[in-house]
Amino acid sequence: MYRALFSLVLSRLDPEDAHHLAMRVIRIAGTRPIARMLRPFTRPDPSLAVSALGLDFPSPFGVAAGFDKDAHGALGLGALGFGHVEVGTITAVPQDGNPRPRLFRLIPDRAVVNRMGFNNAGAEAAAHRLARLRGRRDRPVLGVNIGKSRIVDVADATEDYVRSATLLAPLADYLAVNVSSPNTPGLRTLQAVESLAPLLRSVKDAAGATPLLVKIAPDLDDAEVDAVAALAVELGLDGIIATNTTLSRDGLASAPDVVAAAGAGGLSGAPLAGRALEVLRRVRAAVPADFCVISVGGVETAEDVRERLAAGATLVQGYTAFLYRGPFWARQINRGLVG
């Protein structure tokens, strides 16, 4: 049914408008009466529970950052069966992001190109919403992904991240530092270890007891992946999230003119799967066995999740396939992991 709805209706809508429509439905799913009806149908099997980061996850499968930018839909996403929700990316300063259109489907590739630019209402607004969620027993595990405010120079990024961490870490189950989005000018330069080390030290101090992870790009070369992994271990971080979106357009099935029309931005979805798996294996080989590695990129099926877990992922996240597979995607994944 969802495939027909997507083909006949949703695929004809502007992708960002379709996303906002979906978020309205997800927020309704998070209301107590609807969530109570959904949970017997969507609740992960107890055998899927995972302990990581000092937390109990009902399933290894969660929602990647970018889907719920302002922590509006976390309850609904949890009610749909996701074991955790990583909200954000949230910046210290509220910002509108890049001009629209800024989200594009590559349907033959089951992929998306986005240049959203960290559009969000800012850390203070997110803190108010997260504070309301904090005491809810029916909420999923909540990660908070923070990034650099666009108006802040890269040279001043540390103070900007620390401001967000100070506000949000006490309200998060874990905190993720995003230095790998391609849509904020200069941001990816922060992945160089000489820039990343002082930034992460300062954010770790600000985060206090909240587990801290760093999110890296698939476009790092192998030596750079190794260097970031070594740094994360040296600094006592709790994990790495691998990976963010890619700048690559290699091997796409979509027509070249469609790809060109989408323009600049990060590509996510099925074409990213191969490199995301390579980076996962490389990170896992470089970190201790108890170090949390969250794998993201090109995940569509339970078999994909199973492959990532077998390759060393502690947890797995998805986003883009949600657009193509519909609201009960997490239920499909969780049931497939049990079967």
Q: Is the pTM of this model over 0.85?
A: yes
Residue 117's pLDDT band (cuts 50, 70, 90): very high
pLDDT at 315 over 80: yes
Calculate what percentage of the chain has a pLDDT beyond 90: 87
Residue pair 111/299 in contact by the 8 Å Cβ criterion: no
pLDDT at 307 over 90: yes
13-18's contacts with Cβ under 8 Å and 24+ in sequence apart are: 14/101, 14/103, 15/101, 15/103, 15/104, 15/105, 15/112, 15/323, 16/100, 16/101, 16/102, 16/103, 18/323
DSSP structure string for 175-243: EEEE---TTSTTGGGGGSHHHHHHHHHHHHHHHTTS-EEEEE-TTS-HHHHHHHHHHHHHTT--EEEE-
Chain mean pLDDT for the chain = 94
What's the structural domain count of the chain?
A: 1
pLDDT in tens, 176-226: 999 888 878 788 888 788 889 999 999 999 999 999 999 999 999 999 999
Does 89 appear as a known binding residue?
yes
Which residues are within 8 A (CB) of 223 and not within 5 positions of it... i.e. 6 or more apart?
none
Does 243 appear as a known binding residue?
yes
pLDDT at 298 over 80: yes
Q: What is the pLDDT of residue 170?
A: 97
Residue 147's pLDDT band (cuts 50, 70, 90): very high
Which tokens sit at 192?
């160089």
Integer Cα distance of 199 and 162 in angstroms = 8
Does 114 appear as a known binding residue?
yes
pLDDT at 137 over 90: no
pLDDT in tens, 248-288: 999 999 999 999 999 999 999 999 999 999 999 999 999 99
Does 183 appear as a known binding residue?
yes
Q: What is the pLDDT of residue 1?
A: 75
Query: What are the residue numbers of the active site?
Result: 181
Does 116 appear as a known binding residue?
yes
DSSP 6: H
Domain containing residue 252: 2-338
Calculate what percentage of the chain has a pLDDT beyond 70: 100
Residue 5's pLDDT band (cuts 50, 70, 90): confident
Give the mean model confidence (pLDDT) for residues 229-255. Answer: 96
CATH of the domain at 156: 3.20.20.70
Which tokens sit at 111?
């992929």
Does 39 appear as a known binding residue?
no
Alpha helix positions (H), the chain: 2-8, 15-29, 32-42, 74-79, 123-134, 157-168, 193-207, 222-234, 256-262, 273-286, 302-310, 320-325, 329-338
pLDDT at 304 over 80: yes
Residue pair 164/91 in contact by the 8 Å Cβ criterion: yes
Residue 4's pLDDT band (cuts 50, 70, 90): confident
Closest CA to 292 of 103, 69, 105, 84: 84
Residue 132's pLDDT band (cuts 50, 70, 90): very high
